Amino acid sequence: MRESADSFEDSPGAGRYGRPRHGNHGKGRWRFDDEPLIAKRRRDRPRLAPQDTGDATDGLAEGDRWSTWDQSTPTERGPRPHPKWLVTELAAVDTELGIVKTGKEADVYLIRRGVPGTTWSCLLAAKRYRDTRHRLFHRDAGYLEGRRTRNVRENRAMANRTAFGKEMIAAQWANAEFAALRQLYTARVPVPYPVQITGTEVLLEFIGDPDGTAAPRLAETRPGEKQLASLWDQLVQAMLTLARHGLAHGDLSPYNLLVHHGRLVMIDLPQVVDVISHPNGQSFLTRDARNVATWFAARGLPAADPERLARLLHEEARLE
């Protein structure tokens, strides 16, 4: 039986697309780097079946689609060699299993891609940037600096946030994230494998268990002393590798780091910043360092020094 989208629930709090409030509660302003809401899996619902593509060959069940693998060019697919777990057969079917996470500009859905009549399948995360009626690109100006196109009309439309401009911004976010994931995966930064991009939908490796349970965010975990030190070491190495390539995450926090069986995975990279070309590149490195180091320090890790981490990143990026 296919598990419906109802098996995944939005977390309680500020609503489907809202965010917890910080600072001045009276003004009700949202911070740009607040955590996204995560759709929790209902523990009282059945787990996902091992295979969920059915045996239909002539038609598809409602909500299903044929694999979009052939709709992406080689440069719009993940780096080779493709992982052995990835289903690339054109006869495969994509079955949507529910929503995993809602965020500022995109929602993430759980997809099972499998070949009908076989047990060959894999789980994917489909990150879909919303249409112009729902996108919340009102705090992205700092990230878009250095991403201007050569087309004056396009730059003006993005600056004025017209409908066309928002479409351009969405495409930039999706393409920037996919390009960053390709580069970072190749550089062995712990990020999900980028499967493919089609329009403003980015398909990624699903970080979680085979039953469809997503890995928790770092902020949701309570690691012991040994695991805390291990996660810190993994994080520092990942951030140093980013800086070595002249990049900063740009919005790094305990809410866009996943922990899967002791392994730290960095997610949500549409705003990745080139710290060399961006006029405020150094400040993005510093903010990322402070956001994550403060979390580890608050949990008693002596090595988590925000200022020292920031200096290491600046040196690795050759900014000092």
How high is the pLDDT of residue 176? 86
Task: Look at residue 213 and tell me if it is in a domain.
Answer: no
Q: What 3-state class would DSSP assign to 256?
A: helix
Q: Are residues 192 and 253 in the same domain?
A: no
Banded model confidence at residue 149, pLDDT cuts 50, 70, 90: very low
Q: Can you give the pTM of this predicted structure? A: 0.74
Q: DSSP secondary-structure letter at 260?
A: E
127's enclosing H/E stretch is strand 121-129
How high is the pLDDT of residue 296? 97
Task: Look at residue 211 and tell me if it is in a domain.
Answer: no
Q: Are residues 227 and 141 in the same domain?
A: no
Q: Are residues 175 and 268 in the same domain?
A: no
Q: What's the rounded mean pLDDT across residues 242-258? A: 94
- Dihedral in degrees, nearest 10, Cα atoms 260, 263, 268, 271: 170
Task: Look at residue 138 and tell me if it is in a domain.
Answer: yes
* Total domains, the chain: 2
Q: Are residues 182 and 66 in the same domain?
A: yes
Residues belonging to the active site: 251, 268
Q: Are residues 148 and 10 in the same domain?
A: yes
Q: What's the rounded mean pLDDT across residues 72-99? A: 95
Domain with residue 234: its CATH number is 1.10.510.10
**Which residue did the predictor score with more confidence, 295 or 250?**
295
Q: Are residues 87 and 185 in the same domain?
A: yes
Q: Are residues 89 and 193 in the same domain?
A: yes
Rounded CA-CA distance 102/105 in Å is 8
Rounded CA-CA distance 292/283 in Å is 15
Q: What's the rounded mean pLDDT across residues 254-283? A: 91
**Full domain range(s) for residue 302:** 218-316
**Which residue did the predictor score with more confidence, 147 or 295?**
295
Domain with residue 130: its CATH number is 3.30.200.20
Rounded CA-CA distance 213/207 in Å is 9
Q: Are residues 230 and 191 in the same domain?
A: no
pLDDT in tens, 155-169: 454 444 555 545 555
Helix axis angle for 281-298 and 225-244, nearest 10°, is: 170
Q: Is the pLDDT of residue 56 over 60?
A: no
Task: Look at residue 145 and tell me if it is in a domain.
Answer: yes
Q: Is the pLDDT of residue 182 over 50?
A: yes
Most confident of 6-15, 40-49, 70-79: 70-79
